[in-house]
C-alpha cells in the first residue's frame, strides 16, 4: 500500500464510534480492551508530527479522571453498608451532608468503573487527535465554518512561536541579571513576549489581507439570519440528539432528533458556504481505506449495541452483590474489529527533513 | 503600471505627513529600488501600493494611487491581491500554512482558482524559484534564504503584475541574499513583472535597479535612474561613494563597470600606503578553548578556540546557522555549552551568578527588544543602573553619548531601530564589561546609523573593551573590524586580520575591495584619507 495520510475525517469517525462504544459499558476489562485497541492503532499509524505526540497527554488525563472519581467517592461517600475497606473520621457539614466516613469496596469500584468509562472516551478522542492532522481536518470543514477554521489554524501556528518567544526572552533576562522565575520575573518576560506576539499577529494579518483572505460574495441580511439560525438550531438539535442516543432511555429524543438536527445544520452550512468563494488545493481524497476505517469503528460500535441484548449483564458488572467482571467472547470480538485500521489504513509517509 | 498623483499620507497624532504631495509613475517591467534613511516613509510608500496604507494601517491618504487600473481608495488590499503581491520583512511571520506547497497555494485558494490550474501553477513556481525539492518541508525548518524565496513564490502563484518586497535580504547571509536577488531579477527579466524593493543594504540591489525612489526624509520622493540619484543623495552604496570621490561620470553601479573605469585610481593608490588597522595585541580579555554546543543530535559549535585581546574588534562571519549565535551565547554563559572553557579575567562567566557575569561579559542579542520591558527610556536606564550597581545616571550618560537626543519619557517600543539598539547597548554597557558581544547588531540600520554605531564601537575598543560581533554585513565589517573569524558548520575556518581574510573571499569582500583589488583597500573613507 502506498504511504499517504488518511483523511482526517475518517480517523475522527472511527474514534468517535469507539468512544460511543465505550459509553455503553462499565466493564473494566472491556474498557481496557478499547484503550488497548486505540493505543495499538495509534502506535501503528501515527506520524512524528507534534500533535501526534499528544496521545500520552490524553492517557495522563484519563488516569487523572479515574483517580479523582475514586477520591471523590472517598471524600463524599461514606454511606454505610457493603464491604467496608477502611474508615476515615467523619466530618459533618451543614444540611445533613458529611465528608469521609467508611469507604466500601462497592463505592470505590463504582467510582472506578465510572471514571474508567469517561477516561476511555477521552483516550478515544486523544487517539483521533494523534492520528489526524488538525490542519488537514480544518481544510475539510464546510465553507460556513471557514473563518473559525482559519482562526484555529493561525492559533496552531502561533502557539509554538509563542513558546519560542518565551524561551528567547527568558534567556535574555539572564543577560540583565533579571530573575527568570517567580512573580517578579513575570513582567520582564510577559511584556516583551506580548509585544512580540502583537507585532507578529499584525504582520500576519497584513500578509493575509494582502493575499486575498476575506474576499466574499455579498448575501442579503435575511439570508444571513436564516443561515445563522439554521446552523444554531441544527447544532442544538444534534447535541440534544446525541445525549438522547447515549442516554438510551427516551425514545423520541434520540435518533429522530439527531437526524433532524443534522439535516437542519447541513442546510445552514450549504447556504453559508455560498458566501465563501474559494477553492481547495489538493483536498484529501476519500478512497476505500477511509471507508474501511470508518466501517471498522462503526462496525465495532454497532456490534456492541446489537450484542448488548444477548448478554447485558456482562456489559455492566454487578456491584451488589459484588462480583468479578467477566467478558463474553462476543463483546471482546466486537471491540477487536476496531483494531483493523492498524492494518487496512495506508502507512504514514515519512516527513521529509 | 503604478501611478501616484499628489499623494499625501498623514498618520493620526503625527505632526507632519510621512509623504507629502508625492507624484510619480512606475512603468511596467521596472525594477525599482526604494531608498532613504530610517523613518523617511519607505514602508508607507510600499504599503500605499497595495492599499494596506491606509486601509489596514489607518491614517489619512489624500490624492490618488492607481495600480494596474485599480484605484486603491476603492479596492481594499484583499481585492488587489491578484494585481499586487507583497512580501514582508520577516517571511516567517507572514506564513499562514505550515508546508511549502500549501503556502504556495494559499493565495490562489483565496482567489478561487480552479484546482487543476492551481496544481500547474504550484509546480511552475516551485521550479521558477528553485525550491522544488523543498515542497513537503515544514516552513519552520527552512533556512532564511529558502523561506524568503518561498514567501516570494507564495505571492507569485496569484500571477500579480506588481511584486513589492520590503527588505528581502536584510536578514540573510551574502550567499543566500544572492539567491533571493537572482530570483527577483528573474521575475523582472523573464516574466516582465514590475518589482519594487526597499533595501537598506543598497549595495546589493543598486546594480539591478532601473529606477531609484529616494526619500530624503522630508516627505518628498525623488525618482530617477540610479546613477543620477546617487550623484547627490545623502546615503548611497559604497560603490557610488567611491565613484563620487573619484569623479566618475556616469556613476558605475556594478563592480564590473567600476573596475573598467578604476584603472587610473588604482595606479594612483598604488603609490600611497594603506592605513594599517591590525594592531599588536597584548594580553587577552577573552580566552575561549574547545567550546562545543550541542542541541540534541545537532552539533552547533564543534570545538572553537578564540582569543581576543583588549581593544580588538573581531567580526564573526559565516552562513546562517554556522554557529555564530550559539558561540556568543555559550561564551556569555547564558546559553548551553556542552564542553570547553571560557576565561574572562580569570573566571568562567557560566559559573558566575548572572549579576556578576554581566560585569564581565555583556551580550546584545539578535532581537534587542527582548531585553526591554519597562514603559519609558528613563525607567530602563534607572533599572540598568540598579542591575549593574553603578551610580544613578550611568546608563543615561552612556545613551546620550551613543545616540543623543532621545526623550526620557519615550516608550522603548516607539524608538527607531538605531535608537533602540543604542538603548540596549547603554543598558548592557552600564556595568562596563571588558568583553562586549553583539549578535547581528546592524539589522535595520541605515548608512548613517551604521556610521555612528561604527564610531561607537571604535571608541569602546580604544577604551580597552574587547568587542566580538556576529554579522553578515560585509561593508560594516570593513569599516569597523580589525580581525575577522569565519565560521562554517560550527568550526573556525579562517581567522586573521580583516584585510587578509576579506579581500580574497568572493562572498565577504566589500565592494571597494572588489573594485580596487589586488590593492588592499576596504572602505571609501580609507581611500579618501589616503588621497587627501
**What's the pLDDT tens digit per position in A244-298?**
777 666 666 777 788 888 888 888 878 777 766 778 888 878 888 888 888 988 9
Q: Cell 454511606 maps to which residue?
A: A79
The closest of B181, B215, B201 to B31, measured between CA atoms, is B181
> pLDDT at position A284, please?
79
Is the predicted pLDDT of residue B26 greater than 90, yes or no?
yes
Is it the case that residue A340 has pLDDT exceeding 80?
yes
Answer yes or no: is pLDDT of B68 > 50.
yes
- Please identify which residue in the block is written with the cell numbers 504550484: B122
Q: How far is B14 from chain A (nearest CA, A)?
A: 20
Using DSSP's 3-state secondary structure scheme, residue A77 falls into coil
The packing angle between helices B144-156 and B100-110, to 10°, is 30
Q: How far is A271 from chain B (nearest CA, A)?
A: 18
Residue B305 sits at φ, ψ, to 5 deg, of: -110, 135
Substitution target in A136, A175, A273 with the highest count of B β-carbons within 10 Å is A175
Instruction: Identify all chain A residues contacting B97, using CB atoms and an 8 Å cutoff.
Output: 135, 153, 157
Closest to A177 (Cβ–Cβ): which among B85, B98, B387? B387
Q: How far is the alpha carbon of A201 from chain B, nearest alpha carbon, in Å?
A: 8
Query: What pLDDT score was predicted for residue A27?
Result: 86
Residues of chain A positioned with their CB less than 8 A from the CB of B357: 177
pLDDT of A4 higher than 60: yes
Residue pair B443/B199 in contact by the 8 Å Cβ criterion: no
Contacts of B76 in chain A (CB under 8 A): 209
Fold for the domain defined by B2-235: Rossmann fold (3.40.50)
Distance of CA B17 to the CA centre of its chain: 26
H-only helix segments in chain A: 8-23, 28-45, 55-76, 105-131, 134-139, 146-175, 183-210, 221-247, 255-273, 288-308, 312-315, 329-336, 341-344
Number of cross-chain residue pairs from A and B with Cβ atoms under 8 Å apart: 164
Contact present, A38 and A18 (Cβ < 8 Å): yes
Residue in chain A closest to B96 (alpha carbons) equals A154
For residues B278 and A230, give the distance between their C-alpha atoms in angstroms, rounded to a whole number.
78
Nearest C-alpha neighbor of A8 from the set A135, A165, A186: A135
Tens-digit pLDDT profile for residues B340-395: 999 998 889 988 888 888 889 999 998 888 888 888 899 999 988 888 888 888 89
d(CA B313, CA B456): 12
Per the CB < 8 A criterion, the answer to whether A319 and B148 are in contact is no
Task: Identify all chain A residues contacting B329, using CB atoms and an 8 Å cutoff.
Answer: 171
Cβ <8 Å between A192 and B373: yes
Comparing CA positions, the residue from B139, B390, B521, B220 lying closest to residue A351 is: B139
**With bands split at pLDDT 50, 70 and 90, how would you rate the model's confidence at B302?**
very high
Q: Are B48 and B166 in contact (CB under 8 A)?
A: no
Q: What is the mean pLDDT of residues B430-439?
A: 91
* CB contact (8 A) between residue A215 and residue B105: no
In angstroms, the separation between the Cα of residue B381 and the nearest Cα of chain A is 12
pLDDT for residue B143: 83
Q: Which residues make Cβ contacts (< 8 Å) with residue A335, sequence separation at least 6?
A: A21, A30, A33, A34, A37, A300, A304
**pLDDT score, position A307:** 81
Task: Give the confidence band of A79 by pLDDT, cuts at 50, 70, 90.
Answer: low
pLDDT above 70 coverage of chain B, percent: 99
Rounded CA gap, A277 and A282, in Å?
A: 17
For B364, list phi and psi in degrees, rounded to 5: -105, 115
CA–CA separation, B36 and A142 (whole Å)? 48
Residue A352 has what pLDDT? 39
Model pTM score: 0.79
DSSP state of A133: -
DSSP-derived letter for residue B493 is E
CA distance linking residue B220 with residue B19, whole number of Å: 6
Q: What is the pLDDT of residue A1?
A: 66
pLDDT at residue A155, rounded to an integer: 75
Q: Tens digit of pLDDT for each residue in A88-111?
A: 777 777 776 777 777 788 888 888
Phi, psi at residue A287, to the nearest 5°? -115, -170
DSSP per position, B341-392: EEEBTTB-GGGS-HHHHHHHEEEE-SSGGGG--SSSHHHHHHHHHHHHT--T
- Does A168 contact B370 at a Cβ distance shorter than 8 Å? yes
- Whole-number Å distance between alpha carbons of B370 and B439: 13
Q: Which residues of B touch A162 (CB under 8 A)?
A: none
| Gap from A8 CA to chain B (nearest CA, Å) | 17
Which residue in B91, B296, B370, B425 has the most chain A C-beta atoms within 10 A of its own C-beta, making it the best mutation to test that interface? Answer: B370
Which chain B residues touch A205 with a CB distance below 8 Å?
56
Mean pLDDT computed over B287-298: 90
Residue among A160, A211, A351 whose CB faces B110 most closely = A211
**Percentage of chain A exceeding pLDDT 90:** 10
Contact B176, B318 (CB under 8 A): no
DSSP string covering B62-99: EEEEEETTEETTTS-HHHHTTTEEEE-SSHHHH--SSB
Location of C-alpha cell 508607507: B44
Measure the CA–CA gap between B406 and B385, rounded to whole angstroms.
18
Cβ contact B79:B111 at 8 Å: no
Q: How far is CA A186 from the centre of its chain?
A: 32
**Residue B438: DSSP 8-state:** E
Out of A210, A281, A352, name the one closest to residue B86 (CB).
Answer: A210
Encode burial over B289-302: b for 16+ CB neighbours within 10 A, e otherwise: eebbbbeeeebbbb
Query: Are B58 and A212 within 8 A, CB to CB?
Result: no
A171 contacts on B by Cβ (under 8 Å) = 329, 334-335, 365
Higher-pLDDT residue of A67 and A86 is A67
Mean pLDDT of A3-21: 88
Could you read off the pLDDT of B493-515 as tens digits, one per residue? 999 999 888 887 888 899 999 99
Q: Is the dihedral of CA A244, A248, A252, A255 positive or negative?
A: positive
Q: How far, in whole angstroms, is CA B222 from its chain's centroid?
A: 23
C-alpha torsion angle, residues A256, A262, A265, A269 (rounded to 10): -160
Please judge whether A175 and B372 are an interchain contact, meaning their C-beta atoms are less than 8 angstroms apart: no
What's the whole-number mean pLDDT along residues B306-328? 91
Looking at residue A45, its pLDDT comes to: 84
User: pLDDT confidence of A353, banded at 50, 70, 90?
Assistant: very low
Q: Which residue in B110, B119, B357 is closest to A278 by CB distance?
A: B110
Q: Do B155 and A211 touch (CB under 8 A)?
A: yes
User: Is B77 close to A210, i.e. CB distance below 8 A?
Assistant: yes
Domain boundaries defined on chain B = 2-235, 369-432
- Whether the predicted pLDDT of A161 surpasses 80: no
Of the two residues A254 and B409, the one the predictor is more confident about is B409
pLDDT 10s digits, B214-225? 999 888 999 999
* Nearest chain A CA: its distance from B407 CA (Å): 21
Q: What is the pLDDT of residues B86-103, one digit of tens each?
A: 998 888 888 888 789 989
Interface probe for B, chosen from A49, A50, A51, A176 (most Cβ of B below 10 Å), is: A176
Question: Which of A150, A176, A351 has its CB closest to that of B427?
Answer: A176
Q: Which three cell numbers stand for residue B471?
A: 554579522
A100-148 pLDDT, tens digit each: 777 788 888 888 988 999 999 999 999 988 888 777 777 777 666 777 7
pLDDT of residue A132: 84
CA atoms of B211 and B226, how far apart (whole Å)? 6
Q: Cα–Cα distance between A276 and A299 in angstroms, integer?
A: 36
In this prediction, residue A301 has a pLDDT band, given cuts at 50, 70 and 90, of: confident
Chosen from B79, B97, B110 to mutate, greatest number of chain A CBs within 10 A: B110
Chain A residues with CB inside 8 Å of B55's CB? 209
Give chain A positions within 8 Å (CB) of B122. 281
Chain A residue whose CA is closest to B381: A176
- Is the pLDDT at B120 greater than 90? The verdict is yes
ipTM of this predicted complex?
0.85
Angstrom distance (rounded) from CA B7 to CA B367 = 34
In B245-297 the beta strands, taken as DSSP E runs, fall at 286-295
The CA distance from B355 to the nearest CA of chain A, in Å, is: 5
Contact assignment for A135 to B354 by CB distance below 8 Å? no
Q: CA B155 to CA B458: how far, in whole Å?
A: 43
Contact (CB<8Å) A176/B77: no
Q: Which residues of B touch A215 (CB under 8 A)?
A: 78-79, 81, 110-111
Does the beta-carbon distance from A277 to B112 stay under 8 Å? yes
Interface test with A, best of B43, B55, B78 (most A CBs within 10 A): B78
pLDDT score of A242 = 81
Please indicate whether, in this complex, the C-beta atoms of A206 and B88 are within 8 angstroms of each other: yes
* Least CB–CB distance from A174: residue in B112, B158, B354: B354
Least confident of B109-113, B239-243, B412-416: B412-416
Q: Is A176 close to B138, i.e. CB distance below 8 A?
A: no
pLDDT at B277: 62
Amino acid at each position: 500500500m502506498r504511504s499517504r495520510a488518511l483523511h482526517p475525517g475518517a480517523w475522527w469517525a472511527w474514534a468517535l464510534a469507539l468512544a460511543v462504544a465505550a459509553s455503553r459499558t462499565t466493564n473494566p476489562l472491556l474498557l481496557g480492551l478499547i484503550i488497548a485497541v486505540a493505543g495499538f492503532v495509534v502506535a501503528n499509524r501515527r506520524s512524528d508530527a507534534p500533535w501526534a505526540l499528544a496521545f500520552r497527554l490524553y492517557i495522563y488525563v484519563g488516569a487523572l479522571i479515574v483517580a479523582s472519581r475514586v477520591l471523590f467517592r472517598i471524600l463524599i461517600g461514606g454511606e454505610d453498608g457493603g464491604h467496608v475497606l477502611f474508615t476515615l473520621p467523619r466530618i459533618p457539614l451543614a444540611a445533613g451532608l458529611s465528608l469521609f466516613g467508611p469507604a466500601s469496596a462497592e463505592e470505590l469500584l463504582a467510582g472506578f468503573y465510572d471514571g474508567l468509562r469517561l477516561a476511555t472516551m477521552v483516550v478515544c478522542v486523544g487517539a483521533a487527535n494523534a492520528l489526524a492532522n488538525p490542519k488537514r481536518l480544518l481544510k475539510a470543514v464546510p465553507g460556513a465554518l471557514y473563518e473559525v477554521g482559519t482562526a484555529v489554524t493561525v492559533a496552531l501556528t502561533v502557539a509554538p512561536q509563542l513558546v519560542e518567544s518565551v524561551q528567547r526572552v527568558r534567556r535574555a533576562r539572564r543577560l540583565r541579571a533579571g530573575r527568570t522565575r517567580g512573580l517578579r520575573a513575570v513582567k520582564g518576560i510577559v511584556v516583551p513576549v506580548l509585544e512580540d506576539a502583537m507585532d507578529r499577529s499584525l504582520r500576519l494579518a497584513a500578509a493575509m489581507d494582502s493575499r486575498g483572505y476575506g474576499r466574499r460574495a455579498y448575501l442579503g441580511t435575511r439570508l444571513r439570519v436564516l443561515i445563522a439560525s439554521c446552523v444554531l438550531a441544527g447544532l442544538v438539535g444534534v447535541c440534544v440528539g446525541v445525549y438522547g442516543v447515549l442516554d438510551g432511555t427516551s425514545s423520541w429524543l434520540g435518533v429522530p432528533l439527531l437526524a433532524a438536527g443534522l439535516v437542519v445544520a447541513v442546510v445552514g452550512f450549504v447556504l453559508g458556504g455560498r458566501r465563501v468563494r474559494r477553492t481547495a488545493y489538493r483536498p484529501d481524497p476519500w478512497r476505500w481505506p477511509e471507508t474501511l476505517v470508518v466501517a471498522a469503528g462503526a462496525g465495532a460500535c454497532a456490534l456492541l449495541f446489537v450484542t448488548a441484548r444477548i448478554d447485558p449483564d456482562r456489559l455492566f458488572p454487578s456491584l451488589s452483590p459484588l462480583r468479578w467482571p467477566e467478558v463474553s467472547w462476543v463483546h471482546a470480538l466486537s471491540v477487536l474489529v476496531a483494531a483493523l485500521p492498524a492494518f487496512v489504513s495506508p502507512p504514514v509517509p515519512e516527513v521529509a527533513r | 503600471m503604478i501611478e501616484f498623483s499628489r499623494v499625501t499620507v498623514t498618520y493620526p497624532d503625527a505632526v507632519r505627513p510621512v509623504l507629502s504631495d508625492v507624484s510619480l509613475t512606475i512603468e511596467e517591467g521596472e525594477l525599482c529600488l526604494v531608498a532613504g534613511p530610517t523613518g523617511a516613509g519607505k514602508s508607507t510608500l510600499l504599503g500605499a501600493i497595495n492599499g494596506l496604507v491606509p486601509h489596514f494601517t489607518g491614517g489619512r491618504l489624500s490624492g490618488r494611487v492607481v495600480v494596474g487600473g485599480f484605484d486603491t481608495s476603492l479596492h481594499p488590499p484583499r481585492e488587489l491581491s491578484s494585481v499586487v503581491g507583497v512580501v514582508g520583512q520577516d517571511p516567517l511571520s507572514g506564513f499562514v500554512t505550515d508546508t511549502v506547497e500549501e503556502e504556495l497555494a494559499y493565495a490562489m485558494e483565496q482567489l478561487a482558482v480552479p484546482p487543476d490550474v492551481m496544481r500547474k501553477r504550484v509546480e511552475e513556481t516551485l521550479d521558477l524559484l528553485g525550491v522544488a525539492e523543498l515542497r513537503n518541508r515544514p516552513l519552520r525548518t527552512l533556512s532564511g534564504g529558502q523561506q524568503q524565496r518561498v514567501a516570494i513564490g507564495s505571492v507569485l502563484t496569484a500571477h500579480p503584475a506588481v511584486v513589492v518586497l520590503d527588505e528581502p535580504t536584510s536578514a540573510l547571509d551574502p550567499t543566500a541574499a544572492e539567491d533571493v536577488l537572482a530570483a527577483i531579477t528573474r521575475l523582472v527579466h523573464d516574466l516582465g513583472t514590475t518589482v519594487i524593493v526597499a533595501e537598506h543594504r543598497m549595495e546589493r540591489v543598486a546594480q539591478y535597479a532601473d529606477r531609484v525612489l529616494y526619500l530624503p526624509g522630508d516627505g518628498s520622493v525623488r525618482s530617477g535612474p540610479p546613477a543620477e540619484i546617487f550623484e547627490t543623495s545623502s546615503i548611497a552604496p559604497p560603490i557610488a561613494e567611491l565613484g563620487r570621490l573619484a569623479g566618475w561620470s556616469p556613476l558605475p553601479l556594478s563592480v564590473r563597470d567600476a573596475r573598467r573605469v578604476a584603472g587610473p585610481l588604482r595606479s594612483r593608490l598604488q603609490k600611497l600606503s594603506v592605513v594599517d588597522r591590525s594592531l599588536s595585541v597584548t594580553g587577552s580579555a577573552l580566552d575561549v578553548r574547545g567550546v562545543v554546543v550541542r542541541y540534541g543530535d545537532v552539533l552547533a559549535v564543534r570545538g572553537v578556540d578564540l582569543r581576543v585581546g583588549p581593544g580588538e574588534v573581531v567580526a564573526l562571519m559565516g552562513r546562517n546557522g554556522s554557529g555564530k549565535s550559539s558561540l556568543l551565547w555559550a561564551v556569555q554563559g547564558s546559553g548551553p555549552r556542552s564542553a570547553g572553557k571560557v576565561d574572562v579575567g580569570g573566571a568562567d562567566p557560566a559559573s558566575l551568578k548572572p549579576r556578576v557575569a554581566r560585569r564581565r561579559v555583556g551580550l546584545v542579542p539578535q532581537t534587542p527588544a527582548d531585553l526591554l520591558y519597562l514603559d519609558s527610556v528613563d525607567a530602563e536606564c534607572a533599572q540598568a543602573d540598579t542591575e549593574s550597581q553603578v551610580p544613578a545616571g550611568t546608563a543615561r550618560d552612556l545613551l546620550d553619548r551613543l545616540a543623543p537626543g532621545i526623550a526620557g519619557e519615550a516608550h522603548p517600543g516607539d524608538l527607531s531601530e538605531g535608537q533602540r539598539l543604542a538603548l540596549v547597548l547603554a543598558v548592557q554597557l552600564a556595568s562596563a564589561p571588558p568583553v562586549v558581544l553583539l549578535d547581528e547588531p546592524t539589522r535595520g540600520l541605515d548608512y548613517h546609523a551604521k556610521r555612528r554605531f561604527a564610531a561607537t564601537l571604535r571608541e569602546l575598543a580604544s577604551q580597552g573593551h574587547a568587542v566580538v560581533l556576529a554579522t553578515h554585513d560585509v561593508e560594516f565589517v570593513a569599516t569597523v573590524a580589525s580581525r575577522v573569524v569565519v565560521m562554517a558548520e560550527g568550526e573556525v575556518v579562517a581567522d586573521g586580520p580583516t584585510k587578509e581574510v576579506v579581500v580574497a573571499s568572493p562572498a565577504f569582500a566589500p565592494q571597494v575591495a572588489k573594485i580596487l583589488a589586488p590593492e588592499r583597500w576596504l572602505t571609501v573613507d580609507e581611500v579618501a584619507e589616503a588621497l587627501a
